[in-house]
Amino acid sequence: MHIIPIVDFGSQYTQLIAKRVRDLGYYSVVVQIDDTREYLDSPCVILSGGPSSVLDEDHPLLPQWLKKYEGKILGVCYGMQLMVKELGGRVVKGGRGEYGRVKVRVVADSPLLDGIPESFESWMSHRDVVKEIPSGFRVLAVSENNMIAAITDDERYWLVQFHPEVRHCSYGFEILENFMLKVCGIRPDWSLEDFVHRKIDEIREKLDGGKAICALSGGVDSSVASVLVHRAIGGNLINVFVDHGLLRKNEEIEVPRVFRDKLGMNLVVVDARKRFLERLKGVTDPEKKRKIIGEEFIRVFEEEARKHDVEYLVQGTIYSDVIESARSGKTTNKIKSHHNVGGLPEKMNLKLIEPIRELFKDEVRRVGEILGIPDFIVHRHPFPGPGLAVRIVGEVDEESLRILKEADRIFIDTLRELGWYDRTWQAFAVLLPVKSVGVKGDERSYGRVLVLRAVDSVEGMTADWSRLPHEILDEAARRILNSVPQIGRVVFDITSKPPGTIEWE
Ligand code: XMP
């Protein structure tokens, strides 16, 4: 299998290039410019865009290994400008630059733009422009503003100013495919089915009779990671499901049913509800709540792990986490640290297995389907590690948990029933420590305020509130007010991220 390195110059679209290349059936990896690994055997390399200017003194340079590299190079935006500068062409500061949709005209035949209409809509995001092309190059396309949009030397370098990886670039996918098939002459050789088989063999070989443990929450990532390892080592994998009482309604019943009863996995359920509630008593500060839950989770998991003679810890780290960590120079990113029981491997001297660290989220879901994990697990909304504790503003107590579980369930069931669950990225209810006056029958009522939240997002880094139809909001609010007497008022949150976060705490 070929590995296609995407050299990351910091563009917000780098991951998208890697994804598009994989969707075409080639295995891609995102490579940081200071990575020491060399990819000299790869048939081609893609250079991403980036926020820097090659005219600045300290702009990012090509990785050292690329100086020795002899294969083909596709340069995108900054990647193009950097190659032009390196090869003796000239890049200058543009006037207004080009941003967003820009029409591009193909002016010469080439395998890269083969079959692409003479004029097509591209996506641009650049201020600097290529003024003089390096010697031996020719221009393949120009923009509607008469700027150079694509050039080549017909041998090794294929450089484009626009972003073929972005959906708004109308023939972007075809251009990337042309590069792989017609310029580099390589056939697709990566599929998720193969990945599953290879991974299972690899894990079996690596563990060689050793035992592993996994904190299985029922979230997509940990579920897929765990089922892959289970396929490889069966009963030698012990899954621990910590019931901290902060889960969604009935999850402590539904999750074990799937993994233990349906998939035949080794699963220990730890009832730690009392411990968590006890420690959360009187705590209202969101960060304190998170810290307590994180610590207690690790303690419970550690106690359980010590009962078994295990060598390995399975974690559901995915590729976006790996790229994020590499970029930020940290080994784990903050949001996932609780979820991934961070700190535990060193403390307990456990070796890590991260079976899905090469996969993007949608690939993880597809692997889940291939493995036969039920749909409601594979396609469920993300859920925070600290659970409902960050959705009960103020102190967490048994009564608030009961109210929120009930209301959240009704909201989610309504979305599912009316076909909106899969159209939102994440939806949930939040309970406020505020009461509001109402009338019920002829009497004055005084009940808690419940917030409904639904967002559209890609990886949760930014989010917009979902434009749910009024009828759906109306149906959910009525059902909640009729069935949960402690709630007196239902409101809908229309805050995007930024400036808000998705969770309330
Ligand atoms: P925020 O609230 O930071 O959430 O905008 C972004 C996404 O991350 C989820 N989230 C968490 N996930 N452990 C997790 O595994 C956590 O501590 C945590 N906090 C927030 C949140 O549900 C949303 O999908």
In the prediction, which pLDDT does 167 show? 86
- Tell me if 380 sits within 8 A of 224, measured CB to CB: no
Task: Please choose, from the candidates 123, 131, 135, the residue with its C-alpha nearest in 3D space to the C-alpha of residue 98.
Answer: 123
| 382-407 pLDDT tens trace | 999 999 999 999 999 999 999 999 99
| 412-436 pLDDT tens trace | 999 999 999 999 999 999 999 999 9
Q: Give me the CATH topology for the region 3-183.
A: Rossmann fold (3.40.50)
Q: What is the location of CATH 3.40.50.620 in the chain? A: 192-378
Q: Across the chain, what does the average pLDDT equal?
A: 93
367 C-alpha to ligand 1 centroid (Å): 23
User: Active site includes 163?
Assistant: yes
Task: Please choose, from the candidates 239, 231, 238, 235, the residue with its C-alpha nearest in 3D space to the C-alpha of residue 199.
Answer: 231
What residue owns the CA closest to ligand 1's atom 22? 384
Question: Residue 260 in 3-state DSSP?
Answer: helix
CATH superfamily of 192-378: HUPs (3.40.50.620)
- Mean pLDDT, residues 331-341 taken together: 43
Q: Which residue has the tokens 């790996």?
A: 322
pLDDT band at 341 (very low <50, low <70, confident <90, very high): low
Please tell me the class of the 397-492 domain. alpha beta
In the prediction, which pLDDT does 333 show? 39
Ligand 1: which atom is nearest the Cα of residue 336?
Answer: 15
| 133-188 pLDDT tens trace | 999 999 999 999 999 999 999 999 999 999 999 988 999 999 999 999 999 999 99
In the prediction, which pLDDT does 335 show? 41
Sheet with 138-143, edge to edge strand ranges: 27-32, 3-8, 44-47, 72-76, 157-160, 148-152, 138-143, 98-106, 119-126
Q: What is the location of CATH 3.40.50.880 in the chain? A: 3-183
Verdict on whether the full-model pTM lies above 0.75: yes
- Residue 484, classified by CB atoms within 10 Å of its CB into exposed (0-12), middle (13-18) or buried (19+), is buried
What residue owns the CA closest to ligand 1's atom 21? 384
10 C-alpha to ligand 1 centroid (Å): 24
Q: Which of 77, 169, 184, 214 is catalytic?
A: 77
User: Active site includes 77?
Assistant: yes
The ligand 1 site (C-beta within 6 Å) comprises: 335-336, 338-339, 382, 384-386, 426, 460, 497, 501-503
According to DSSP, the β-strands at 129-132 and 119-126 are unpaired
* pLDDT over 90 (residue 323): no
**Range from 79-88, 236-245, 342-351, 370-379 carrying the lowest mean pLDDT:** 342-351
pLDDT band at 342 (very low <50, low <70, confident <90, very high): low
